Amino acid sequence: MKATIQSIGVIHTPYTSTGEIPRQGVLEPVTEGRVVLKDEYKEGLEGLNTFSHAVLIFYFHQAREERLKGTPPWADKERGVFAIRGPHRPNRLGLSVVKIHKITPDGFVFSGVDMLDGTPLIDIKPYVNMLDPLKEGGEGFQGRH
C-alpha cells in the first residue's frame, strides 16, 4: 500500500545544521521556532489557542539514509529503529511536543525546538493532558530489553 502525504507548512528554527540541534526539545526549552502554514491550512488553527502545547509531526528532510538499527546517545547498545527516536527511519517522520507561545495569522511561535530550519510540517495535533501523559510509559533505554 502506498500512502501520499503532503506538507501543510514549514517549521522555521535557528538551527541550520544537524550538529546544532538538541537531541530533544526539552533539553533547550527557551529556544523558539515558528510554524508557518500554507494558506489553505490556516483555517485549521482555530481553537489551537486554547492549548498550551502541540504535537508537531514533521519530515526529516535531510535524512539521506534509512537505518534499521542505531544507538541513541544515552543508550549503551544498538537498538532497532522502532525503539529509538532518530531521523533515519523508513518514512523519516519526526514527532515533537512543543510549547505554544503565540498564535499568529499564519501559524504560531513555539519552544521545545529540535528540528532544522525549513523542516516540512506534516501535521499538528493538540497535546491533551488527560489523554497523552502515561506515567507508566517507562524508559526502555534503561534495563528493559
The per-residue pLDDT for range 73-123, each reduced to its tens digit, is 777 889 898 888 788 889 999 999 999 999 999 999 999 888 999 999 999
pLDDT of residue 133: 72
Question: What residue numbers bound the domain in which 55 lies?
Answer: 9-126
In a domain, residue 14? The reply is yes
The helix/strand/coil state of 82 is: helix
Structural domain total, the chain = 1
CATH of the domain at 49: 2.40.30.70
Query: Looking at residue 145, what is its pLDDT?
Result: 40
In the DSSP assignment, the letter for residue 83 is: G
Residue 68 lies in a domain: yes
The answer to whether residues 120 and 51 touch, using CB atoms and an 8 Å cutoff, is: no
Burial, 133: exposed, middle or buried (Cβ in 10 Å; 0-12, 13-18, 19+)? exposed
pLDDT digits (tens, 9 = 90+) for 18-50: 766 656 655 576 789 999 999 999 999 999 999
